[in-house]
Amino acid sequence: MPPFTTRRTIRSPILARTDGFAVETRGVTKEFAGFRAVNGVDLRLEAGRVHALVGPNGAGKTSLFNLLTGFLKPTSGEVLIFGRDATHLRADEIANLGVARSFQITSLFEQLSALEHVLLALQSATDLGLRFWSSEGALRRFVPRGRELLGEVGLEGAADRLASDLPYGQKRALELAIALAREPRLLLLDEPTSGMGLEDVGRTIALIRQVAGGRTVLLVEHNMGVVAEVAQRVVVMQQGRVIADGPYEAVRHDPAVIAAYLGQVDA
């Protein structure tokens, strides 16, 4: 046995099973000062399908999102992404496994234009980033693809506007363009249609369907119309636990789900 064999090199071959799941969590738990925001969640996302994560406010959806993308570390449990143990990876390392996410609270780079946002995302797939000696003209090669992506989300006219000047719905659309620019295998969207007008919601639904081809998608969504339209599987969370998991029609009639939502109305 060579002296430098580490725990990690022993563990990874054992865990390197995919079983057709893009994401698999095993008993993932996250505590904040004694409060269990996520409580023993076993989540499996099938590769190439669209999943919706729903549940009342405070159910732990966004915490779970952050656990999957490395922005939070679980108190216990494991996170596997494409069969790799991602429990202890940093956010940028998880991103580079082919994972892109949007953020619920739109937090863009205030002083960059819409196009610059997409260029930055396109640049991240190359080694240009650390070239402090290169001219920014090196970024010009990404402009055609950048404009194309903005066009796909209906932002062709807003390319040169500062992100901070965009109306809310367009910020959400820009979020989507940035995520798509990364050509992700796993796309995590946190409330992609919140704050959008009806027309934009329709466009976003079409876009999610279009980009879903071959990709695994998980979206947190409150709009049940959107969920019914795009999701092949629905995962319902309540108080940090998964209480139902299955096709939309089955989940909709699940007594536990009905109770959870009725309970929320009472509260």
Partner 1 sequence: MSGRYPRIAMVVGSAVVALVLPRVIYSVLALDILLWALFAMSVDLLVGYVGLLSFGHAAFWGGAAYVAALLARDLRLAFPLAALAGVLAAMALAVPVGYLSIRRRGIYFAMVTLAFAQMLFYLVNELRGVTGGENGVQGVPRLLWGVSVTRPGDFYYAALPLVLLGYLAVYRVTRSPFGHVLAAIRDNEARAQALGYPTPRYKLVAFVLSAGIAGLAGSLYAIGHGFASLDLLHWTTSGTVVLMVVLGGTGTLWGSLVGAAIVLFLRDQLSSVTEASDAVTGAILIAIVLGFRRGLWRSLAALPARAVRRLART
Is residue 128 at the binding interface for partner 1, with CB under 8 A as the rule?
yes
The binder of partner 1 chosen from 9, 19, 76, 109 (CB under 8 A): 109
CA-to-CA distance for 75 and 90, rounded, in angstroms?
15
Q: Which is nearer to partner 1, 123 or 238 (CB)?
A: 123
Contact string (CB under 8 A) for partner 1, positions 161-200, x = contact:
-----------------x---x------------------
Beta-strand (E) ranges in 21-118? Answer: 21-32, 35-41, 44-46, 50-54, 76-81, 84-85, 99-101
Q: Which is nearer to partner 1, 128 or 159 (CB)?
A: 128
Number of residues this chain uses to bind partner 1 (CB under 8 A): 38
Q: Smallest distance, Å, CB 146 to partner 1?
A: 13
- Coil/strand/helix, residue 233: strand
Do the Cβ atoms of 52 and 235 come closer than 8 Å? yes
Please say which residue, 39 or 170, places its beta carbon nearer to partner 1: 170
Looking from the CA of 138 toward its CB, the CA atoms found within 13 Å total 13
Residues 66-105: x/- map of binding to partner 1 (CB under 8 A)? ---xxx------------------xxxx-xx---xx-x--
Q: Encoding tokens for residue 241?
A: 């636990």
Cβ within 8 Å of residue 8, ≥6 positions away: none
Rounded CA Rg of the chain: 20
**Residue 112 bridge partners (DSSP):** none
Q: State the minimum distance, in angstroms, from the CB of residue 121 to partner 1.
A: 5
Q: Which residues bind partner 1 (CB under 8 A)?
A: 69-71, 90-93, 95-96, 100-101, 103, 107-112, 116, 119-121, 123-125, 128-136, 138-139, 178, 182
